[in-house]
Structure 1
Amino acid sequence: MILTLVPDIMDVPADRWDALSAQAGFYLSHRWLSAQQHDPTARVRYALVHDEGRLIAAAPLYVVDTEPNDLYRVHEIVPGRAPGRTVLAGARRGYLNAPLLHPRLTPDRRREALGRLVAASRSLAAAEQAQPWWLYVTDAAAAELADVCNAVPVQLNQDARIPLPGSTFDDYLAGLPSKRRVTIRRERRAFAEAGYELRTLRLSECADAAGALAAQLQGRHGHPADPGFMAALLREQAEGMADTGIVHAAYAENRMIAFSLFYLHADTVWIRSTGYEYAQLRGAHEYFNLVYYLPIEYAYAHGATALHLGMESLRAKTFRGAVTSALWAVDGS
């Protein structure tokens, strides 16, 4: 096995990278990582493991200079850790992570390839006088990393996704208890009767308006955000993602009142962002319709089999059919 580090994910053919990342999810896809790699708050290298010319393992490695997101500051999410420089291995955004390993490797070869990725993160961290960490890794990844790193994983949160059986929204409903079906039908009816004009847009068409609403959401949850800054982030995301994001938006009097942004990747719809002008909402369960029900309809229409919802608000998610799995931090040193 040969380990190399490259500075640009565009040096790796997208089909070869995504052959490894397909099961790991959207936030480790070639396109998402390429859109994130120019973030000025970190420097990235991509660890690649080849065997007889075939890419069999990979991981982005971020040397974090400044971390604006407190949920990626190790000392704030892992008990007993002091502030210090970090090298984050794997995805740095999206709260879902795993080392990328070829699915057809034997157990011994898999462990060896993972060992090369861990060694790469340790070497880079040592050169940068930093600590290597794997954050928000899945159950299976945490177990493998704990074995290779001789570390005890620390649970950070839980990830949520809604499986979508069958081929229609009614098939989704049929899998829920009757009381939940009644609630969802009532919430959908209230939204339909609220009189919003619904639009499906590309992110580039509405980044400014969506950014203003996303800033309101951040402020409501105790994270004040500048609308102009949020709009700029969304414009950059639209450009970096080749404008593949889909926006569902509710308008009133030709003004965007609420939106959700999502991506379709590997048979799953991935919710990425949402926002609301709270003073103008009509009490019509706008959040549940824009973040759950409309994306579920979109998923069925496009052959997707799951809706990924991520962390937080787990009670509301499980009520609507989500299954959860643990997310872990693993000390890579």
Structure 2
Amino acid sequence: MAGPDGEAVLGAPAFLTDSDSHPGYDPARFLVMDDIPEEDVAAEPGGAAALARLRGRLRTLESRPSVVSGSPGRMGGVSYAGTLSPRERADALGLATDALERQAEAASAELVCWVYFIEDADATVDTVLRERGYTRVSVGADCHLPITWDSFDGYLRGFSAKRRWSIQREVRGFAEAGVTVERHGAEALGPELAGLELQWRRKYGRKADLEATVADYRELREHVGDAMTVFVARRQGRALGFVTFIEDGPVWWARFPGFDYSAGSDIYLYFNLLFYHPIQVAISEGISSISYSMGSYETKCSRGCAPRHLLAYVRTAGDAGLAADLEVADRIQHRRFDRIARAHTHRGRG
């Protein structure tokens, strides 16, 4: 959005999506929330019926376009000019919403969604969109790890004796296997690491193409290369895995990894590469937190993360049934992540 003198006052990514789009951009898939454990659904009165109705409704929309603002893994999708007052922010967002809804009407889009907002991070979005008839629903969580320790031993002391022993065994096994971790910038991203990323993508059923992935790396180097940290695990010169982080001041945002799945589970590559080594570096550099994005919630929280809800705002004006089912889904998600947090945030549990 531009101001009266042409200056940028608000920016947000927005896409016209359909069933061929990345699943993280397609409401017919990210609103299904089919990873919710049955125990959490059963604990919510009417939960199973509400999710069945919601999923049935979404199946009918699979072939229809949607308009989506937000990008998976890029939390806080609205940027505001620093000079705007709270009222001006709300006005600018209202105009942006008008524009998005006009685009949806022109494209015969069935759903309009704003998505991947960390809960309580943007009060303007929450107020403006809900007043306009959007329903708020948790579609997952960002696994957030505050770095509050002055040493790795301090990190370990937050776990039960059983979990500490397990982590120490994993660190020791990694070292004894002759694996080392190198730190690089974005220049490390090339065909070698792209091959590892493709293994990771294929494991989760995602489309993978080496040439396109390497081209994506070139764009990353051009646009955000200065903010990237890449940790690469090697054994005898061979890359076994990598993980990327975007640095935003004192915060690291984990992005995409890659793994050689033939390396074997006995070297504990995942935990050392994604958690133990980056945590030690983060402590030494005064990083305040690391965000590990969505998915693998139990695993990430077992290593110290806490879940922060990621919200979608779905236009439901005039559709009370859809709004009601989304509200039930939101309660189920809150129940789910409250349970996970309780299981992993109390000292003495492991």
TM-score range, shorter chain: 0.7 to 0.9
Q: Matches of 2:81 and 2:150 in 1, distance apart? A: 30
Q: Normalized per residue, which structure has more strand?
A: 1
In the other structure, the counterpart of 1:201 is 184
Pairing partner for 2:144 from 156, 161, 171: 161
Pairing partner for 1:72 from 18, 21, 25: 25
Amino acid at match of 2:78: P
Q: Matches of 1:203 and 1:222 in 2, distance apart? A: 26
Q: Matches of 1:177 and 1:54 in 2, distance apart? A: 54
SS at match of 2:21: coil
Q: Matches of 2:126 and 2:73 in 1, distance apart? A: 20
Pairing partner for 2:193 from 191, 195, 210: 210
* 1:162–1:263 CA distance, 2 compared to 1 (3 A): same
Pairing partner for 1:61 from 7, 14, 36: 14
Q: Deviations 1:228-256 (Å, cap 9, x if unpaired)? A: 43333223322332354222112223221
1:148 correspondence with 2:131: yes
Pairing partner for 2:280 from 297, 302, 319: 297
Give % identity. Answer: 26
In the other structure, the counterpart of 1:112 is 91
* 1:314–1:208 CA distance, 2 compared to 1 (3 A): same
Q: CA deviation at 1:127?
A: 4.0
8 Å CA contact 1:134, 1:331 repeated in 2:
yes
Amino acid at match of 2:100: S
Amino acid at match of 2:97: V
Q: CA deviation at 1:92?
A: 2.2
Q: CA deviation at 1:56?
A: 5.5
1:84 correspondence with 2:44: no
Moved more, 50-59 or 123-132: 50-59
Amino acid at match of 1:205: A
In the other structure, the counterpart of 2:345 is none
Pairing partner for 1:170 from 150, 153, 165: 153
Q: Deviations 1:136-172 (Å, cap 9, x if unpaired)? A: 2222346425423222223211111101113332333
8 Å CA contact 1:98, 1:138 repeated in 2:
no
8 Å CA contact 1:268, 1:299 repeated in 2:
no
Matches within 5 A, 1:1-333: 47-48=1-2, 50=3, 57-64=10-17, 67-78=20-31, 79=54, 80-81=57-58, 82=61, 83-89=63-69, 91-94=70-73, 96-101=75-80, 110-130=89-109, 131-140=111-120, 141=122, 143-223=126-206, 225-242=208-225, 244-281=227-264, 283-332=266-315
Q: CA deviation at 1:306?
A: 0.5
Q: CA deviation at 1:114?
A: 3.1
* 1:325–1:239 CA distance, 2 compared to 1 (3 A): same
8 Å CA contact 2:254, 2:290 repeated in 1:
yes
8 Å CA contact 1:157, 1:311 repeated in 2:
yes
SS at match of 1:256: strand
Q: Normalized per residue, which structure has more helix?
A: 2
Q: CA deviation at 1:272?
A: 0.9
- Equivalenced residue count is 285
SS at match of 1:241: helix
Q: Matches of 2:225 and 2:118 in 1, distance apart? A: 28
Q: Deviations 1:98-157 (Å, cap 9, x if unpaired)? A: 433578977655543432332232233334443432022222346425423222223211
8 Å CA contact 1:238, 1:244 repeated in 2:
no
Unpaired segments of 5 or more residues in structure 2?
Answer: 32-53, 318-350
Give the TM-score of the pair, scaled to structure 2.
0.71
Unpaired segments of 5 or more residues in structure 1?
Answer: 1-46
Q: CA deviation at 1:66?
A: 7.9
Q: CA deviation at 1:323?
A: 1.0
* 1:133–1:320 CA distance, 2 compared to 1 (3 A): same
Amino acid at match of 1:309: Y
Give the TM-score of the pair, scaled to structure 1.
0.74
Amino acid at match of 1:75: A
Q: CA deviation at 1:64?
A: 4.1
CA RMSD of aligned residues (A): 2.9
